[in-house]
C-alpha cells in the first residue's frame, strides 16, 4: 500500500485545528471537517475560532500553501483521504460521565462513507475516550454501517494527544513521545510511518500498545499532572501556616530530584480548563463503574475544589470584611495565553466575592469577551491592568499573564485606594512587595 499522506481531520477545535495546520505546514494534504459552517467560513478566511499563540500565522501559511482545506462534507473528505483523525470533543455530561455524541456522529459518518469506498482507510481516534470506547463503540459503529471488517478493510488506532492550550502549536511540533494504540500491526505501522515522515530526524520515542492502554494513558497522564498540582497546593497550604516556610523554595528543591522533576509544581489557586476537571471526573466515574473506589483521585479533586477560596481567605486577612469593597481581579482565563474560561478558577472566586457583597472589577488580556458571557453586567470589565486596580481596596492576581509580572509596587500604590495584593500565582517578589504594601501570597506565611 502506498504511504497515505492525504488526511482528513474531524473536529476543528483546539486539537483538530492545531494538528491540521501543523501537518499542512509540512506539506501534508489536510482536509479539516467540522459541522459548524460559520467556523469553517472563518477558518477559510484565516480567522481561528479561538485565541492560541502562533495559530493564525500557521493557518495563513497552510491556506497560502493550499495544503489545508475545510469542509462540512464528511463524505467527500473520507473518499479523498487515506486516513481520518477523530478530534471532536468529549465534553462531560451532567452526571460527569462522557458525552460521546460527537464521537458517535463522526463514527457514523465514517461508517457510511466507507461503505462506498473501495480502498483501505485508517481511522485514528485522538478524542479522549474511556477504556473500551474505541473498540466497543467506534469500531462497532463503523463496522455495522460500512459492512466492512476492521483489520481487513480499514484500520484503527487510538492516538491520544498531550497538547496544552497556550502552547498548542509548540506541543504538536515538539512532543515528548507518541502513543499509538493499535487494533492490528498494519494500522500501527501506517500511523508510525506518518509520524516518522512528519517529524523526520526529530521523531520522538514512539510507544506502540493496545487500544485500551492508549485510552488509559491519556487519563493517567492528566490525572498524574493534576495530582502533582494538588499535592503542591496542599504543601503550600501547610507552608502558609508554618512560620518561615516558603512553598517556592520547597518546590524548587523537590524539582531538583530527577525522580520528581520541576514541572507542574507551581502552587497557586488550583487547576481549571477543559481537560483536567473533565478527565479526572471521567476517570473516577469509570473506576467506580468497574467496582473500584479511587480514593486518591477523589482527594486530588477535593483539594482543588477548595483551593480557589484561598484567595478569599487571604483577601479577608488583608482587608477584613469584603462587603462593599472594590476588588480588582487580574486574569480571568484558566491559564495564561488562552481566552478559554472553561472551569477557570476566576469564576469560583468572583462568584464568592459577589456573594459576600464585594464589587468586582476585572481585566484579562484575552478572555474578556468570553468572561462577559459568564458574568454579564454583574462585574465591571476594564481594558488594562492599571485601569482595573484604580481605586480598589484589594487586588487578586488569579492568572499569571506575563504582562502582570511587569507591575511593580509603585503601580499599585499610585492607583489603588488601599494597596493590598493577594498574589494567587506567586508572580511577585514577596520581599519587595511586602515592604511597600499589604501583600499575601500562596504558600508563604507573612
Ligand atoms: C492539559 C495537559 O497538560 C495536556 O497535556 C493535555 O493534552 C490537555 O490537558 C488535554 O487533555 O487536552 P491544559 O489543560 O491545556 O493541558 O493546560 P495545563 O498547562 O496542563 O494547565 C492546566 C491547569 O493547571 C491550569 O489551570 C494551570 O493554571 C494549572 N497549573 C499548571 C497549575 O496550577 N500549576 C502548575 O504548575 C501547572
Lookup: cell for 63? 491556506
Q: What is the mean pLDDT of residues 164-178?
A: 96
Residue 1 has pLDDT above 60, yes or no: no
Tens-digit pLDDT profile for residues 327-373 = 999 999 999 999 999 999 999 999 999 999 999 999 999 999 999 99
Tens-digit pLDDT profile for residues 179-211 = 999 999 999 999 999 999 999 999 999 999 999
Nearest CA to ligand 1 atom 23: 271
Residue 3 has pLDDT above 60, yes or no: no
pLDDT of residue 446: 80
Active site includes 275? yes
Place of cell 506541543: 171
Tens-digit pLDDT profile for residues 76-123 = 999 999 999 999 999 988 777 789 999 999 999 999 999 999 999 999
Q: What are phi and psi of 328, to 5 degrees?
A: -90, 135
Adjacency order of strands within the sheet including 394-397: 380-381, 359-363, 326-330, 394-397, 420-423, 438-441
Pocket test for ligand 1, best of 222, 234, 280 (most atoms within 8 A of CB): 222
pLDDT of residue 4: 45
Place of cell 457514523: 108
Whether the CB-CB separation of 177 and 217 falls below 8 Å is answered with no
Tens-digit pLDDT profile for residues 256-309 = 999 999 999 999 999 999 999 999 999 999 999 999 999 999 999 999 999 999
Tens-digit pLDDT profile for residues 396-432 = 999 999 999 999 999 999 999 999 999 999 999 999 9
Ligand 1 contacts (CB < 6 A) are 161-165, 222, 225, 229, 264-266, 268, 271-273, 275-276, 279, 334-335
Cα separation, 293 vs 253, in Å, equals: 33
Amino acid at each position: 500500500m502506498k504511504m497515505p499522506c492525504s488526511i482528513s481531520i474531524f473536529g476543528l477545535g483546539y486539537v483538530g485545528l492545531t494538528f491540521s495546520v501543523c501537518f499542512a505546514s509540512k506539506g501534508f494534504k489536510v482536509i479539516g471537517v467540522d459541522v459548524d459552517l460559520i467556523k469553517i467560513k472563518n477558518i477559510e478566511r484565516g480567522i481561528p475560532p479561538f485565541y492560541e499563540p502562533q495559530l493564525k500565522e500557521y493557518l495563513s501559511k497552510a491556506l497560502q500553501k493550499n495544503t489545508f482545506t475545510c469542509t462540512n462534507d464528511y463524505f467527500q473528505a473520507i473518499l479523498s483521504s487515506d486516513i481520518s483523525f477523530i478530534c471532536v470533543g468529549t465534553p462531560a455530561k451532567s452526571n460527569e460521565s462522557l458525552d460521546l455524541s460527537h464521537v458517535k456522529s463522526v463514527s457514523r459518518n465514517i461508517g457510511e462513507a466507507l461503505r462506498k469506498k473501495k480502498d483501505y482507510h485508517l481511522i485514528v481516534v485522538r478524542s479522549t475516550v474511556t477504556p473500551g470506547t474505541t473498540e466497543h463503540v467506534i469500531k462497532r459503529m463503523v463496522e455495522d454501517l460500512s459492512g466492512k471488517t476492521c483489520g481487513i478493510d480499514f484500520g484503527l488506532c487510538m492516538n491520544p494527544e498531550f497538547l496544552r492550550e497556550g502552547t498548542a502549536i509548540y506541543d504538536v511540533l515538539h512532543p515528548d513521545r507518541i502513543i499509538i494504540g493499535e487494533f492490528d500491526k498494519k494500522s500501527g505501522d501506517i500511523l508510525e510511518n506518518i509520524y516518522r515522515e512528519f517529524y523526520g530526524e526529530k521523531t520522538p520515542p514512539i510507544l506502540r500498545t493496545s487500544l485500551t492502554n492508549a485510552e488509559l494513558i491519556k487519563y493517567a497522564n492528566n490525572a498524574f499532572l493534576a495530582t502533582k498540582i494538588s499535592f503542591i497546593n496542599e504543601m503550600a497550604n501547610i507552608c502558609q501556616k508554618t512560620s518561615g516556610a516558603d512553598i517556592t523554595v520547597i518546590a524548587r528543591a523537590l524539582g531538583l530530584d530527577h525522580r520528581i522533576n520541576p514541572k507542574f509544581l507551581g502552587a497557586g489557586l488550583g487547576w481549571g480548563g477543559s481537560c483536567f476537571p473533565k478527565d479526572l471526573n471521567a476517570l473516577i466515574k469509570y473506576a467506580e463503574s468497574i467496582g473500584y473506589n479511587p480514593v486518591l483521585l477523589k482527594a486530588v479533586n477535593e483539594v482543588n475544589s477548595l483551593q480557589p477560596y484561598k484567595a478569599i481567605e487571604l483577601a479577608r486577612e488583608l482587608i477584613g470584611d469584603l462587603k462593599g469593597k472594590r476588588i480588582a481581579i487580574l486574569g480571568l482565563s484558566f491559564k495564561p495565553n488562552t481566552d478559554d474560561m472553561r472551569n477557570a478558577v476566576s469564576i469560583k472566586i468572583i462568584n464568592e466575592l459577589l456573594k459576600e457583597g464585594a464589587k468586582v472589577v476585572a481585566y484579562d488580556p484575552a478572555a474578556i469577551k468570553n468572561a462577559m458571557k459568564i458574568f454579564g453586567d454583574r462585574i465591571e470589565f476594564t481594558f488594562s491592568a492599571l485601569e482595573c486596580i484604580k481605586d480598589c481596596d484589594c487586588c487578586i492576581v488569579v492568572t499569571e499573564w506575563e504582562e502582570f509580572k511587569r507591575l511593580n509596587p509603585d503601580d499599585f500604590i499610585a492607583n489603588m485606594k488601599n494597596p493590598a495584593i493577594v498574589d494567587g500565582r506567586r508572580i511577585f517578589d514577596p520581599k519587595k512587595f511586602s515592604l511597600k504594601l499589604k501583600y499575601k501570597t500562596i504558600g508563604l506565611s507573612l
